[in-house]
Amino acid sequence: QSDRIRFRAATLVVGDKSYQDVEVTVSETHLDVGGEKRELTASGPIRGTTDLLILPQEAMGFGDVKLMAAIGAFLGWKPALFTLMVSSLLGSVVGLALIVLRLREMRGRIPYGPYIAAAAVIWVFYGHDLVDWYVGLLIKD
């Protein structure tokens, strides 16, 4: 559902067909106008007016992307990769703990930014030691 744009069009003209006060959903390949689905490439020119446009929220917002970019810029690509992996692990562990303790529902959302920040701090203080330890587990002498 995140790859669609939904809006209610007060007026809409698709090709040679006119609509009034209709629900519109636009995806990468299709246009759905009031339940009438057609291929976007075969729709022709589209004109209309709307008062409300609904853009779905993505799983990882742009704030998280900017934070990861800043971590990569300041610490380098290897710490950024470490941060991405460890933040995913931290978020998963905390999320599962919250579900088990019934503090969150399975469909509940938790912010990802704090786990990115925590993983970056872990890298700054313990990153090299953790990587050496992990590589030591994989490569035995």
Instruction: Please list, in sequence order, all residues whose beta carbon lies within 8 angstroms of the beta carbon of residue 66, skipping any fewer than 6 positions away.
Output: none
CA nearest 86: which of 126, 53, 49, 135?
A: 126
* DSSP type of residue 59: S
User: Checking phi first, is residue 15 left (phi over 0); if not, alpha (psi -120 to 50) or beta?
Assistant: left
Tell whether 79 and 130 lie within a shared domain. Answer: yes
Which of 77, 74, 1, 69 minimizes the C-alpha distance to 32?
1
- pTM exceeding the 0.85 threshold for the entire prediction: no
Residue 60: the pLDDT is 53
pLDDT single digits (tens) 57-88: 665 558 899 999 999 999 999 999 999 999 99
How many CA within 13 A on the CB side of residue 89?
Answer: 10
**Domain region containing 69:** 62-138
**Spans of the chain, pLDDT less than 70:** 1-2, 54-61, 141
- Are residues 10 and 45 located together in one domain of the fold? yes
**47 and 28 within one domain:** yes
Work out how many domains the chain is built from and give that number. Answer: 2
